[in-house]
Structure 1
Amino acid sequence: MLKNDLILRAARGEKTERTPVWLMRQAGRILPEYRAVRNSLSGFKELVETPELAAEVTIQPVDILGVDAAIIFSDILVIPEAMGLTYEMVEKKGPHFPKTVETVNDIQALKVADPTDLSYVYEAISITKKELNGRVPVIGFAGAPWTIFSYMIEGGGSKTFSKARRLLYEDPKMADQLLEMITQSTIGYLKNQIKAGADMLQIFDSWAGVLPPKHYSRFSLKYISQICDAIDEVPITVFAKGAWWALPELANVNCRTVGLDWNMNPKEVKSILTGKTLQGNLDPCALYGSEATIKEATKQMLEDFEGHPYIANLGHGVYPDTDPNKVKYFIECVKELSSH
């Protein structure tokens, strides 16, 4: 039995006694406790692939920051890895794929991921679930197919994502072939996260904002919709960073919650997404401010979302050099200012 199910009730659109709060990237570099675990290992991937340790760092922010949910410590790039395209995590640079997808032959060399290849993630979820013992819900997640596709084509992050975007014009059929494989891989993966104990799911479309609206509908939302349609066991959140123009279309996607980045205006979004719970959207840089600044920004945010089912969060992941005490203060402000 969950002792704190605020976030699940908010996701279902029910009234809650206060606003639930958690943070994207809450398990990680901001916490010295995380760095201690991470520094004892060969690198990021070893941490992701060691269930006991992944569970430990998943639970840290619940203990230290007082958030209302634990999000499993993993990475969106475990999917391409399970499909046959391995990645490395380069210190201070981010992900790198030594080999990328350039031709149809490269796609044929891949496979739809066998969910059992990702058993270390499910094991981390079940250990987390057991150790939390109902204190807060566990959030599972995956990357949106377009965002995963971008990494597989580009080989890493990019300022323009021009290789990935170019393919949509040059060979849309090839793009669809790869997107469909990623989508099928993701559905199996998320279903197994639910079996392992995930109480809700989030789909991260980090590179949504680089596409023109028509391409976003055609090559991203279409596949996100397929995933949401295939899963009805738990509430799903879709976070499409930068895709403010896609909000009216997101109203028709089969998800319970829509995450907003800090450039989106909650007052406008409330009228577009009347049937959805909203999540977000404080600028992560606000947490560099003084306590008075943080409190004022949090108050303003809560007022902007007032009267609508809502989960407090940042408009993107918390930045690694943010003072954990400021993060904790933000969480305390949400709790204090939203209690009825």
Structure 2
Amino acid sequence: MSTPQECTLKGASTWRDTLASFPPLKNDLLLRAAAGEETERAPVWVMRQAGRYLPEFLAIRKDHSFFECCQTPALASALTLQPIDRYPRLDASIIFCDILVVPQAMGMTVLMQPEKGPVFPEPLVTPDDISKLREHVDVDKELGYLFEAITLTRKGLDGRVPLIGFCGAPWTLMAYMVEGGGSKTFEKSKGWLYRYPEESKRLLERVARVCGELLVGQVLAGAQLLQVFDSWAGELTPHQFQTFALPPLLSIASYVHSTLSALGHPGVPITLFPKGVHSPSSLSLLSDPSATGYATLGLDWQVDPQEIRQIVGKTVNLQGNFDPVVLYGGKEGIEKEVERVCERWKGAGGGWIANLGHGITPNVKPEMMGWFLECVHKYSKR
């Protein structure tokens, strides 16, 4: 990974001019909550809020492939703005992209197949295949389209809400790269951890280098908060999480903060979403932002916020964790569950950002998403 002094990403010397060109922020609720403030109500946004449940999204996708949408700044920006234009109750926007652009930047082919999802025609089968990856990734060249999309989106938002940038976590990306796509057993990628532990660590660190530079580039382009998605973290034993997944996560956060500091940038908060990590021993390692670099910890829907608070304390902010399926519960069911969960969060205390415990699913009716947001606004008031 480049040192902060060696960082030569596009815009590194002109970030002040870039930020000065954006309209002032009108709604800073998310940023205040991410800074640990117990806000007057919980800011709310939803993972995958720009996506297949929206008819306006499907209208664009009819004429453009998935990765074409990710890699065309005007399209990515338009898709990012769609939920913000539709739902005035949203308190944040997240750039439309995909975590698998990192393996693409490293030289791997990724296809998005209907009904099957991402497919890697040539996955990493043995450690010898690591030599097929680019040794040095020019992030600006390979992923500059994402930076352009962020800058374009910041202007399109007109200060309505903050813009979130993101990347996948090294373990999650490695799992895709080795499995060749999604998996139910993770026998190939987890098998690597047992058979090739040192080679796995080196691969994870190489992925972390690209992730760190990608996140810095997003901030310099205008992202105001970052999130790292470790979607498959819960597939690991606590020992494996602490041995393999956690070190590159810490490396990413350290690189982002130190690089932005060296550039004179004030920095942004980072959220870690380690889906499925419920072990007290693992969660306790994520409880101190000064040690991890992650100001906010995202929770899935299978944990209780008050129980998590007892483990992690009130130093780290929390995000989550409504069951995504609540959006299929009808207006009455949604309202009752939102009221119940908000009361649990109020009892937990500390900074809270309301979200689903994972992404919104394709068959949700847009009006139910709108009703969910209304209910969060109503019942999360302190």
TM range (shorter): over 0.9
Equivalent residue, structure 1, for 2:272: 238
Task: Tell me by how many angstroms 1:250 deviates.
Answer: 1.1
- What CA distance in whole angstroms lies between the structure 1 residues aligned with 2:42 and 2:80? 21
Task: Choose which of 255, 261, 271 in structure 1 pairs with 2:300.
Answer: 261
Secondary structure of the residue that 1:244 maps to in structure 2? Answer: coil
**Secondary structure in 2 aligned to 1:135?**
coil
Cα distance, 1:339 vs. partner? Answer: 3.2
Check whether the contact 2:54–2:366 (CA below 8 A) recurs between aligned residues: yes
Which aligned pairs between 1:218-229 and structure 2 lie closer than 5 A?
A: 218-229=243-254
* Residues 1:113 and 2:152 are matched in the alignment: no
> How far 1:15 moved relative to its partner?
3.0
Match for 2:82 among 60, 78, 83?
60
SS at match of 1:278: strand
Report the Cα offset of residue 105 of structure 1.
2.8
Which residue matches 2:317?
277
Counterpart contact for 1:79–1:113, Cα < 8 Å:
no
Deviations 1:80-125 (Å, cap 9, x if unpaired)? 0000111000012110000011233321221243211100111110
> Given the alignment, which residue of 352, 369, 372 partners 1:327?
369
Q: Among 350, 356, 367, which residue is 1:314 paired with? A: 356
Report matched runs for 1:79-158 at 5 Å: 79-111=102-134, 112-116=136-140, 117-158=142-183
Match of 1:13 in 2: 36
What SS is found at the alignment partner of 1:279?
A: strand
1:287 aligns with 2:310: no
Q: Is the 8 Å Cα contact of residues 213 and 256 (structure 2) preserved in structure 1?
A: no
Determine whether 1:212 maps to 2:237: yes
Whole-Å separation in 1 of the counterparts to 2:110 and 2:168:
15
Measure the CA separation in 2 of the matches of 1:315 and 1:15. Answer: 20
Shift of 1:288: 0.3
Counterpart Cα distance in 2 of 1:149 and 1:338:
37
Partner SS state of residue 285, structure 2:
helix
Q: In structure 1, list runs of 5 or more residues that go unmatched.
A: none
Question: Could you tell me how far apart the structure 1 residues matched to 2:148 and 2:187 are?
Answer: 37
User: Once superposed, what is the RMSD of the aligned Cα atoms?
Assistant: 1.0
Counterpart CA distance in 1 for 2:252 and 2:354 is 24
Question: Which moves more between the two structures, 102-111 or 15-24?
Answer: 102-111
The residue matched to 1:203 in structure 2 has which SS?
strand
**Quick check: 1:249 aligned with 2:285?**
yes
How far apart in 2 are the matches of 1:218 and 1:8? 31
Q: Quick check: 1:147–1:205 contact (8 Å CA) kept in 2?
A: yes
Work out the CA distance in 1 between the residues paired with 2:304 and 2:92.
25
- SS of 1:263 mapped into structure 2: coil
Paired letter, 1:255: Y
1:33-48 pair list within 5 angstroms: 33-41=56-64, 43-48=65-70
Q: Taking every aligned residue pair, what percent have the same amino acid on both sides?
A: 47
Distance in 1, Cα, partners of 2:304 & 2:161? 29
1:136 Cα shift? 0.5
Moved over 3 A (4+): none
SS in structure 2 of the partner of residue 176 of structure 1: helix
Q: For structure 2, list consecutive stretches of 5 or more residues without a partner in the other structure.
A: 1-23, 258-266
1:290 and 1:96 map into 2 onto residues whose CA distance is 35
Q: What amino acid sits opposite 1:62 in the alignment?
A: I
- How far residue 17 of structure 1 moved from its aligned partner, in angstroms, is 2.2
* Structure 2 CA distance for aligned equivalents of residues 65 and 160 of structure 1: 38
* Aligned amino acid, residue 107 of structure 1: I
